[in-house]
Structure 1
């Protein structure tokens, strides 16, 4: 069975969502279904069908999260000695060699990725190019329009 890397924060977020789904959302939907049943004919009851659809979504999401957590390999970057190398969970500042534009990314699991928060997936092209490299190294990333060269400015274990 394949394990999926996840940060400590990512695992905590999934566990929190799972707890909310089981203790808040699921009971609320069950109550909505019961209330809609009291209105009579279920064939033409839009509230009932909407609540059942929402229940299906919640149950599916619960199963999805439980599956992800059971296959998660939680990695705490704080327990790994700082070597200056780019690893899963590290934050890396890179500089575009052509434009001198700086950007900082944290390399995280697929479910935690959020480009707006500068968190990129371990499976993204940039992260794959950066993993194992050190401060000062140059990396070439293949993108749809060609290639981009970056220099690793700083690696942080946050």
Structure 2
């Protein structure tokens, strides 16, 4: 699947790749070298653990490089009065008679535990490009849908959110 990434997402991914290549990779190689020096490799737990960590780091680098190679670059700018990427949105949930606050992000940054919803999620797709005061139908599945009202939009394009680890 081709990920939709903002310029900020790309910069974060490039920074992680660079960190993994320049810092983590040499540390892993040194750990493997050190563990190999302890003798018999067949029963050397440190050696196997160091090799596993080295391989996981290399796998992560390949994954991120592939993601960048196949990514679709999207804009994170939106009009001041409409919901866009990196906006924090206060929604009135009619069914629950409650307000909830979400930050709309790209799919690689989505994290429902921290109220960061992806533009690919049913709620994210529904509210994207809508304005304060609008009542929006969210189609959660073929059999369930609900309405939300957009109460407030704040631009919160910060750089503090991490890329979700896979």
TM-score by length of 2: 0.79
Is residue 76–residue 85 contact of structure 2 (8 Å, CA) maintained in 1? no
Offset from partner CA, 1:11-43 (integer Å, 9 cap, x none): 333233222211221111100111111122222
2:130 equivalent to 1:127: no
Using the TM superposition, give the Cα deviation of residue 72 of structure 1 relative to its aligned residue in structure 2, in angstroms: 4.5
The equivalences for 1:1-158 within 5 A come to 4-70=3-69, 71-77=71-77, 80-82=78-80, 84-143=81-140, 146-158=144-156
Q: Return the alpha-carbon distance in structure 1 between the equivalents of residues 152 and 53 of structure 2.
A: 45
Count of residues in Structure 1 that have an aligned counterpart in Structure 2: 154
Offset from partner CA, 1:31-68 (integer Å, 9 cap, x none): 01111111222222211111111111100100111122
TM-score by length of 1: 0.82
Structure 1: unaligned runs, 5 residues or longer: none
SS in 2 for 1:136: coil
Q: Return the alpha-carbon distance in structure 1 between the equivalents of residues 151 and 5 of structure 2.
A: 25
Q: Return the alpha-carbon distance in structure 2 between the equivalents of residues 73 and 3 of structure 1.
A: 10
Structure 2: unaligned runs, 5 residues or longer: 157-166
SS in 2 for 1:150: strand
Is residue 97–residue 150 contact of structure 1 (8 Å, CA) maintained in 2? yes
Using the TM superposition, give the Cα deviation of residue 3 of structure 1 relative to its aligned residue in structure 2, in angstroms: 5.0
